[in-house]
Amino acid sequence: MARIRTIKPEFWLDEDLSELSAEEHLFAAALLNHCDDEGYFKSNPKLLHAQIFALRELSGTVPVFVQTLGKIGYLRVFQGSDGKGYGQVVNFNKHQSINKAKPSKIKPLEVVRDQS
């Protein structure tokens, strides 16, 4: 479910985000509305397109936007223990201040891989 979020002015001055297309930058901002209070979101491209660009034709695609934002370290995606795709805005707290945060329901689904 989308949440009311404010965007800090520094977001628009982020050098990495400012190198992206206007659609990708808008996607990064809009994604903040669809994250839970810890920055996690469902990464299904069809859901993201419907939630963020419901009435728009795009020059790019949501999977490419997600990939591009991953390359600059804005977000990361993973497969949950339920087999579905999820993501996390890496520095969510840099962009958002949450009062009375609720624990993420997605975070426990993340499978931690053995690093050895």
**Of 116 and 28, the one with more pLDDT:** 28
Name the helix (H) or strand (E) containing 77.
Answer: strand 75-79
84-110 per-position pLDDT tens digit: 999 999 999 887 888 888 999 999 999
pLDDT, residue 114, reads 53
40-49, 71-80, 96-105: the lowest-pLDDT one:
96-105
What is the amino acid identity at position 33?
N
- Assign 1 a pLDDT band (cuts: 50, 70, 90): low
pLDDT, residue 68, reads 97
Residue range 27-45: mean pLDDT, rounded? 95
Distances (CA, A) of 7 to 11, 18, 26: 7, 15, 11
Q: What is the average pLDDT score of the chain?
A: 91
**Does residue 116 register a pLDDT over 60?**
no
The answer to whether 71 touches 59, Cβ cutoff 8 Å, is no
9-21 per-position pLDDT tens digit: 889 999 999 999 9
